[in-house]
Amino acid sequence: MINIQKNIKKINEKIEGACFTASQKGKPSSNNRQNPVTLLAVSKTKPVSALEQAYLVGQRDFGENYLQEAVEKITALSHLTDICWHFIGPIQSNKTKQITQHFSWVHCLDRAKIAHRLNDHLSERILQNNGQDTSLNICLQVNISEESSKSGIMADEVISLAKVVDNCDNLTLRGLMAIPAKNASVECYKKMQYLFNQLQAQYPSVDTLSMGMSNDLNLAIANGATMVRIGSAIFGDRD
């Protein structure tokens, strides 16, 4: 049987170890000292009870890929008001309204049209909520391994899409997200770090490099990841 609570403890230790190693080597990722690595627990396909287990040992950031499934869980757990929900799946334009209603973060923005739709829905909500701030945190997804099967923009499109997001009043540009291909080279991770540093130099709101999953956590942190998205190593394999 999988022990979710033990797994979270193990992953947190692994993250700490990876941060320590990175700082020892004096790599640029040693700014992880001011900017510690956040663990995002990826709970897609897992039941509400699994998320509750994680919550009980202090896990607060959860990532979901499928909107319908996510909304059911978010509704079931709405009494846990300090959970921060991250949408990490591909975004269809007819789902943007629901995303703004339920999530604080979107990790996979890759089109200007989606940015504008998210921003417009948030404007409507702000009017309805008497101006209460409901800004949405955005990471741009970069298809760093240039795989045709994956979504995301190419590296040379980062600056122009960042500008679009930064110009949207209700969106906060937080950084970049990537899913490097299986067995991707270190160069691929370094390229993400370079793009991230470049963006950070231009926009003070940028503080997040969302990179690293169960199988490449160390490599990602060694190359500047500030948020890792871990599913199976916490919740067990998915069907």
Ligand X SMILES: *Cc1c(COP(=O)(O)O)cnc(C)c1O
Distant-in-sequence, close-in-space partners of 146: CB < 8 Å, separation ≥ 6:
154
Given the complex with ligand X, which of 83 and 230 has the nearer CB atom? 230
Q: Does residue 232 belong to the site contacting ligand X (CB under 6 A)?
A: yes
No. of helices (H) and no. of strands (E), the chain: 9, 8
Instruction: Tally Cβ neighbours within 10 Å of residue 227.
Output: 26
The residue within the footprint of ligand X, chosen from 12, 30, 198, 214 (CB under 6 A), is 214
Q: Compose the 44-83 pattern: x for residues touching ligand X by CB under 6 A, - for all others.
A: x--------------------x------------------
CA–CA dist 138, 91 (Å, integer): 12
Task: With contacts defined by CB under 6 A, name the span among 24-32, 73-81, 147-155, 228-236 that binds ligand X.
Answer: 228-236
Of residues 54, 88, 122, 195, which one binds ligand X by CB under 6 A?
88
Phi and psi at residue 171, to the nearest 5° = -110, 140
If we measure between CA atoms, which residue out of 216, 217, 237 comes closest to residue 12?
217
Q: How many residues bind ligand X (CB under 6 A)?
A: 13
DSSP 8-state assignment for residue 36: P
Contact between 23 and ligand X (CB under 6 A)?
Answer: no
Task: Check residue 143 for interaction with ligand X (CB under 6 A).
Answer: no
How far is it, in rounded angstroms, from Cα 17 to Cα 37?
11
Nearer to ligand X, 153 or 170 (CB): 153
Residues that bind ligand X (CB under 6 A): 42, 44, 65, 88, 179, 213-215, 229-233
